[in-house]
């Protein structure tokens, strides 16, 4: 099913990107393994990140990435059949073990599995804390970690901002780093720190070399505070995330 669904979805995405003149630049495509399992690990700044991170792997080595995503998306009448057809992996946040086991099986079968270790979109557009799941999957499957950094995607559609899917000429950087191979004695916590450090350097480079500039003083929302933008700092963004999580929990409790 995946081979019938995935290529048309990729084709439709590329057609849309061309129509909008999304200026995609892929750096490090040579790091995509030609075969075998790999845990593709991406930062998360946009609702469209799975498209762009997957595009990097597809253009770099014709690899199809099976992303781990919350199961709500799989229950949707439109996105559900597409997600299942592309063999993405549903994650139940109340019990993530079945998804973890499915991901490890896919890796052992030679698939590329996509993970967002921050779990949610970063409102600050900087790296949040990483969960250790990606490193544990790499250790359990013997697959390498493949760091990927995206920049510019937040201008199209991100948390707390209206969709701007028709915005034209947006530059998007997709940077792929060298695979990180785990040794038998490597601990997931330490590997996760190494991974985050590597991705932090990649993100810094992507931001420094990014060709896009704010259109004016009212267009600095997509730039991190440390780069002179008006995006919230990591600390403020973390507080906003906590408040949102609390509000969701209270709504669930009210529904009984």
Rounded to an integer, the average pLDDT of 173-186 is 97
Question: Would you call 78 helix, strand, or coil by DSSP?
Answer: coil
Give 42-96 pLDDT, tens digit per residue.
999 999 999 999 999 999 999 999 999 999 999 988 889 999 999 999 999 889 9
Backbone angles phi, psi at 161, to 5 degrees: -130, 150
Rounded to an integer, the average pLDDT of 156-181 is 96
Q: Which pLDDT does position 204 carry in this prediction?
A: 98
Give 122-162 pLDDT, tens digit per residue.
999 999 999 999 999 999 999 999 999 999 999 999 999 99
Position 2 pLDDT exceeds 70: no
Whether the predicted model's global pTM rises above the 0.85 cut: yes
What is the percent of the chain where pLDDT is above 90?
90
The three-state DSSP-derived secondary structure of 179-237 is CECCCCCCCHHHHHHHHHHHHHHHHHHHHHHCCCCCCCHHHCCCCCHHHCCCCCCHHHH
């Amino acid at each position: 099913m995946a081979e019938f669904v995935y290529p048309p979805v990729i084709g439709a995405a590329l057609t849309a990107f061309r129509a909008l003149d999304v200026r995609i630049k892929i750096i490090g495509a040579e790091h995509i393994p030609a075969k075998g399992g790999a845990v593709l690990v991406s930062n998360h700044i946009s609702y469209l990140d799975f498209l762009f991170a997957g595009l990097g792997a597809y253009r770099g080595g014709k690899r199809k990435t099976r992303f781990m995503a919350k199961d709500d998306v799989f229950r949707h009448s439109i996105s559900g059949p597409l997600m299942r057809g592309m063999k993405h992996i549903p994650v139940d946040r109340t019990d993530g073990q079945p998804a973890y086991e499915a991901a490890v099986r896919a890796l052992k079968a030679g698939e590329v599995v996509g993970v967002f270790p921050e779990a949610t979109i970063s409102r600050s557009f900087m790296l949040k804390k990483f969960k250790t799941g990606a490193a544990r999957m790499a250790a359990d499957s013997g697959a390498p970690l493949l760091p990927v950094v995206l920049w510019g995607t937040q201008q199209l559609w991100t948390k707390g901002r209206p969709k701007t899917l028709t915005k034209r000429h947006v530059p998007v950087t997709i940077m792929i780093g060298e695979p990180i191979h785990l040794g038998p004695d490597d601990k997931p916590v330490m590997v996760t720190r190494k991974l985050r450090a590597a991705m932090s350097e990649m993100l810094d480079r992507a931001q420094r070399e990014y060709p896009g500039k704010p259109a004016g003083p009212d267009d600095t929302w997509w730039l991190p505070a440390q780069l002179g933008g008006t995006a919230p700092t990591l600390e403020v963004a973390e507080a906003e995330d906590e408040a949102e999580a609390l509000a969701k929990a209270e709504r669930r409790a009210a529904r009984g």
